Structure 1
Amino acid sequence: MKLLALPLGGRGSLLLVGCVLWQLSPAAQAVEPISLGLALAGAAASALTGIISYPKLYCYFAECCLQRPGARSGAALQENLDQKLFGQHLAKKVIVKSLAGFLNNSNPKKPLALSLHGWTGTGKNFVSKIIAESLYEGGLNSRYVHQFVSTLHFPHRQNITQYKDQLQMWIRGNVSDCARSIFIFDEMDKMHAGLIDSIKPFLDYYEELDGVSYRKAIFIFLSNAGAEKITEVALNFWRSGKRREDLSLRDLELSLSVFNNKNSGFWHSSLIDKHLIDYFIPFLPLEYKHVKMCVRVELEARGYEADEDIVMQVADEMTYFPKEERIYSDKGCKTVCTKLDFYL
């Protein structure tokens, strides 16, 4: 920063430091110029530091904890899901309403806990990515978004006690840094039973634990558990001639099937027993028309026009079940990107 003295004559003089202008009294002019300059430069630096540390201004230069207001985040989430998520009317409705309501609540009673269930490729990871991007510009790379993959971060059953301690320390430290932290747990169906119970205190109705409030944090669990139940109900709807969009959460009753699934990290978990998961959100198996939608969006994302010949060729290469009806893609949209590479 430049320090510039402007002698103007008369009773006083003006000193310009950065963009701040002071009128000096005659008494002040009697002070040694260098000492006065250093003192005022220090004062200006302190003032500037105070201005930059002011949250709204500081957030222009560095990532802040929940930069976007709740209403803005909810609108961004709705727009992204409408444009990029296909065939998931239940998931879209529940996620938008629950997240928008939670973010607009300045004093929630507990953290928001969402459990996303369905087959691979139906959009669970994609939705968690969109949620992160709706709250933070860095998305999954934000310092306030934390992703755990069971087979990577918690691979060995004999180390469960160590994992529990590490997980608690990580959550405690990051929520202390940002109350609106997001924690994503992928592959819950591969997590060792009992491990997830270590975070039970953070999801419960406590105002504070050891001086830290966890009530504004967001926990998202991703799992294949319950996928068979979801597919069974969806298939019965299709066979009875009912519209896919008429499926409701009540038709699925996911919480019980997840709790009773030995292949789930929620097996006999206190998170289920104490009703600490706010929403069990089903992701329906994707149909042929949804796969084509995924191909079109991917083409446009790569800068190409949606060539319908390519769209149909990619969609036709996918495998579908049941064998007789061939209704649902067994990999959802997961391999669309790699198949599209072949044609481009």
Structure 2
Amino acid sequence: MESPPVKIKPSVASLALQLRVAERIRQRYKKQALQREISPRLRIRSQTYRSTSTAFTFDVPVENGLKRRCRSVRNRKKRVLYPEGTSRKDPTQGSSAANYLLLFLLLILAFQVFNAIENLDDNLLRYDIDGLEKTLWREVLGQPTALALLVKSLAQYLSTHVHDCPVVLALHGPTGTGKSFVGRLIAKHFEVVAGRHLVFQLFARSHCPDDGASCASRITAIVKQAVQKAEQEEKVPLIVFDDVEALPEEVLDLLQILTGPNQPPEHLSAIYILISSLGHDIISDFVLRNASLCSLQPLELDILIKGHLASWLSQKHPLYSNTLLIPFGLLGREHIRHCFWEEMIAEGFVPAEQEMELLASELRYVLAGKCEYALTGCKSVVSRVNQMHWNKKHTCAKNF
């Protein structure tokens, strides 16, 4: 008869071994559960890292690099997290300190521009260009367009303190149209506003009676003296040359050098006025062909200057290529009658209509359109009024 089996009681060591095995199984299942929860992107990346070689290299796979860049861009676009206990405040579109600074700079710029304009006006007021314009319009007859161009050129030149070259104004026209008279009026005006020592009137037939070399040396000394005095007083000198057609060739060459841009600084600020009758036949023919009104109009004057007159004078001498041409047109019969009236008033006579008409009829005229133009202008007005005065005195003496 078999004996029943003996039951062996488990020991403490075997119980501890079973607990360890159960714990390992539990950790293994736990790890597998965590791995199942990992995203496919991380699994693919882990597989990629496992498939790479064991050698160390700096090369990064293209897909991995793109994924890293995408992740960095995505990370930069994350929303800003504010600390707890604070409230989010959206930015308001209020005034900035930069706006006030910009406004301040604009005010400074406007003040500088205004100050510059005021300085230009002060310089024009210093030479009283407005007064000169009124004098010319009051005293000179029949040349409104030429006077407007002359005054505009002087104002533009004198409105700045620093100049690149002198300004040369060339007055051309037939005899008796007022060129020399305008030159004398401008000279008298500058003697008052700038000083007598800064104004020089040179007449070719009286200042250059000898050879051209000695005349050129004298003119050089005069111009040098004028510009030096003007530089000391910070003014602009005026030099008027009358009867330029009688000047020697050496003097014309000297004027071309003096009026050029390549000059010492003291020679750059000067006004030269050249009075000549060169091209008078061109101007007379142009006026007679375009006799719509009894004086040159602005458009006609511009056509005349840029046309045949400028090219013809440039061929005469290169000096005229750097000058501003101001042509004086022929005077009409009404202008001649006014010249006689003013001269008779200046001589102390009571002007009578019959006497003025008689004196005006003694001159030669050319009919063009509806206007009668005097060929000699007001050149002989003074001599004829004096002759009339002498005849009256002689007649009174005989009767007495």
- Structure 2 length normalisation: TM-score? 0.59
Query: What residue is the counterpart of 1:256 in the other structure?
Result: 311
1:137-175 CA distances to partner (integer Å, 9 max, x unpaired)? 399x9332212222222234xx32332222222211221
* Aligned partner of 1:227 among 261, 280, 287: 280
The CA deviation string for residues 83-138 of structure 1, in whole angstroms up to 9 with x for no partner, is 11111122111111111222222122221210010111110100011111222239
Partner residue of 1:21?
A: none
Are the counterparts in 1 of residues 187 and 201 from structure 2 also a CA contact under 8 Å?
Answer: no
Q: Which residue of 2 aligns with 1:205?
A: 261
Q: Report the structure number with the largest CA radius of gyration.
A: 2
In the other structure, the counterpart of 2:201 is: 147
Confirm whether residue 341 of structure 1 aligns to residue 386 of structure 2: yes
Q: Which residue of 1 aligns with 2:335?
A: 290
Which residue of the other structure, out of 130, 148, 156, is the alignment partner of 2:185?
130
How has the CA–CA distance of structure 1 residues 317 and 142 changed in structure 2, closer, same or farther, with 3 Å as cutoff?
Answer: farther
Q: Deviation string for 1:251-295 (max 9, x for gaps)? A: 2132212223xxxxxx233x23xx421x10101111111101212
Cα contact 1:116–1:283 (8 A) shared by 2: yes
Name which of 153, 156, 179 aligns with 1:98: 153
Tell whether 2:322 aligns with 1:276.
Answer: yes
> Larger helix proportion, structure 1 or 2?
2
Are the counterparts in 1 of residues 332 and 374 from structure 2 also a CA contact under 8 Å?
Answer: yes
Cα distance, 1:82–1:325 mapped onto 2, change above 3 Å: closer
Q: Are residues 1:307 and 2:352 paired?
A: yes
The 2-side partners of 1:299 and 1:70 are apart by 35
1:42 aligned partner: none
> Does structure 2 retain, via aligned residues, the 8 Å contact 1:320–1:326?
no
Q: Is the 8 A contact 1:168 1:199 kept in 2?
A: no
Distance in 1, Cα, partners of 2:294 & 2:212: 45
Structure-1 separation of matches of 2:227 and 2:310: 27
* CA distance in structure 2 between the partners assigned to 1:138 and 1:313 by the alignment: 41
CA 1:308–1:173 in 2, change beyond 3 Å: closer, same or farther? same
Give secondary structure in 2 for the equivalent of 1:131: helix
1:74 equivalent among 93, 110, 129: 129
Cα 1:78–1:306 change in 2 (3 A) is farther
- The separation in 1 between residues aligned to 2:371 and 2:159, in whole angstroms, is 43
Contact (CA 8 Å) 1:186, 1:222: kept in 2 or not?
yes
Per mean C-alpha deviation after superposition, the further-off stretch among 110-119 and 147-156 is: 147-156
TM-score relative to the length of structure 1: 0.68
| C-alpha deviation, 1:183, in angstroms | 1.1
Query: For the aligned residues, what is the CA RMSD?
Result: 2.8
Give the equivalent residue in structure 2 for 1:217. 270
Kept in 1: contact 2:137–2:144 (CA 8 A): no
* Aligned residue identity for 2:139: K
Alignment partners' CA distance in 1, 2:167 and 2:303: 23
User: Distance between the aligned counterparts of 1:315 and 1:138, measured in 2?
Assistant: 37
Aligned 8 A contact 2:333 2:373 in 1: yes
Q: 1:336 to 1:106 in 2, by over 3 A?
A: same
In 1, distance between residues paired with 2:167 and 2:252? 16
Deviation, structure 1 residue 304: 4.8
- Residue 243 (structure 1) shift: 6.0
1:175 alignment partner in structure 2: 227
In structure 2, the partner of 1:115 is 170
Q: For this pair of structures, how many residues does the alignment match?
A: 259
Asked whether the 8 Å contact 1:90–1:248 carries over to 2, the reply is no
Shift of 1:229: 0.6
**Which consecutive unaligned segments of at least 5 residues does structure 1 have?**
1-67, 261-266
